[in-house]
Amino acid sequence: MDLMDTWLTRQVVDWFDGVGRDLPWRAPGTTAWGVLVSEVMSQQTPVTRVAPIWRDWLERWPTPREFAEASGADVLRAWGRLGYPRRALRLHECARALVERHDGDVPADVTQLRALPGVGVYTASAVAVFHYRRRHAVVDTNVRRVVARYTTGEPDSGQATSAADLVAAEALLPPDAETAAAHSVALMELGALVCTARKPRCEECPVSARCRFKAAGAVVPAAPSRKPQRYHGTTRYVRGQIMALLRESPRPVPRVAIDGLWHEPGRREAALTGLISDGLVEALPGDRFALPT
Catalytic residues: 39
b/e per residue 65-87 (b: at least 16 CB within 10 A): bebbebebbbbbbbbbebeebeb
For residues 260 and 246, what is the distance between their CA atoms, to the nearest angstrom? Answer: 13
Helix spans in 153-234 (H) = 163-171, 177-193, 212-215
For residues 104 and 284, what is the distance between their CA atoms, to the nearest angstrom? Answer: 33
Relative orientation angle of helices 47-60 and 72-79, to the nearest 10 degrees: 140
Strands 288-290 and 253-254: antiparallel
Which long-range CB contacts under 8 A does 16-22 form with residues at least 24 apart? 16/182, 16/185, 16/186, 16/189, 16/190, 19/189, 19/193, 20/185, 20/186, 20/189, 21/47, 21/189, 21/193
Contact 144, 165 (CB under 8 A): yes
For residues 210 and 150, what is the distance between their CA atoms, to the nearest angstrom? Answer: 7
- The sign one gets for the Cα dihedral 125, 195, 183, 157 is positive
For residues 26 and 59, what is the distance between their CA atoms, to the nearest angstrom? Answer: 16
DSSP letter at 194 equals: T
Residues in the chain, how many? 293
